[in-house]
Amino acid sequence: MGYYFPPLHYTSGEIIIDGRNISGMDPDDVRKSILGREISYIPQAAMNALNPTRRIIHFIEDVMHAHEPSMSKKDILAMATERFQVLGLPPSVLQKYPVELSGGMKQRTVIAISVILSPKVLVADEPSSALDVTSQKMVIKMLRDLMDKGFIKSMIFITHELPLLYNVTDDIAVMYAGQIVEQGSAKEAVFTPLHPYSKGLMGSIIVPEEGLREAKLTAIPGVPPNLKKPPSGCRFAERCQYVTPECRAHSIDLRAISEGRAYRCILSEKQMQEAKSHG
């Protein structure tokens, strides 16, 4: 989000949104010109962040006053009412206190507030965890609606629930120990994972999709490395059943094998298939 205060500080890397690099920008400038319009964020357990002494409409007024100071309270209410209706939320919610809403409704309300300025990118960090399955489904449907109705242009959905991700996103990037180890279309990443970690991840969870739901569950041995001192070679080496001395000798680059498809491993696709059949 590019929004941080000391002792956090920017050291390196780039965050480019729509051609504009926001890395290292003054946090106040980010707040004024980037947050809300360019990029918005739903943090984990966002529903618990609402001040319980304020009505929902007051949170929306705060956002609008910061970005559209000339907008009257009447116009804000009219705009919020219309937006809630389009997203399938009862407008009566606007006059309620957070404590009067169920967990699922609170989470959907927070999402509606986060995208009130129609950002280009929404970063949703585990937006459906800690919800029951029915509420999860409604949150996912709402996020899809936001895209379909053009209220957000794109979304980065962060989760450890790969089967859920399959139903939300077009593309998946699998990260391990701070690095992308595989990327591809949602279908490729779920049905034909290439990196040993992605394979282990898919093998360790129940996937309801046909062709995968019968698979036997397996576990990935060991624990992730200490990121204060990551290993110089492959970061997955300690846990990988295919590890060779070469894997530990040097860092492994992410290599592209086709448009949008890449993985970070020394083994070729063919070698992995062979290793699997022998192992």
> Are the beta carbons of 81 and 104 closer than 8 angstroms?
no
Give all strands (DSSP E) within 44-170, no chain letters: 121-125, 154-158
CB distance 95 to 103 below 8 Å: no
Binding piece for ligand SF4, criterion CB under 6 A, among 86-94, 102-110, 212-220, 239-247: 239-247
Q: Burial code of 70-81, b = ≥16 C-beta within 10 A, e = fewer?
A: eeeeeebbeebe
Nearest alpha-carbon partner for 176 in 226, 221, 235, 261? 235
By CB under 6 A, is residue 240 in contact with ligand SF4? yes
With CB under 6 A as the contact rule, the residue among 45, 177, 243, 254 that binds ligand SF4 is 243
Binding mask 248-267 for ligand SF4 (x = CB under 6 A): ----x------------xxx
198 forms bridges with which residues in the sheet? Answer: none
Is residue 131 within 8 Å of 139, Cβ to Cβ? yes
**Given candidates 120, 237, 254, 261, which one binds ligand SF4 under the rule CB under 6 A?**
237
Contact 110, 139 (CB under 8 A): no
Q: How far is the CB of 194 from ligand SF4 (least distance, A)?
A: 10
Site string for ligand SF4, 175-204 (x = CB under 6 A): ---------------------x--------
CB of 225 to ligand SF4, least distance (A): 12
Residue 206 tokens, joined:
């129940």
101 belongs to the binding site for ligand SF4 (CB under 6 A) = no
List of residues contacting ligand SF4 (CB under 6 A): 196, 234, 236-237, 240, 242-243, 247, 252, 265-267
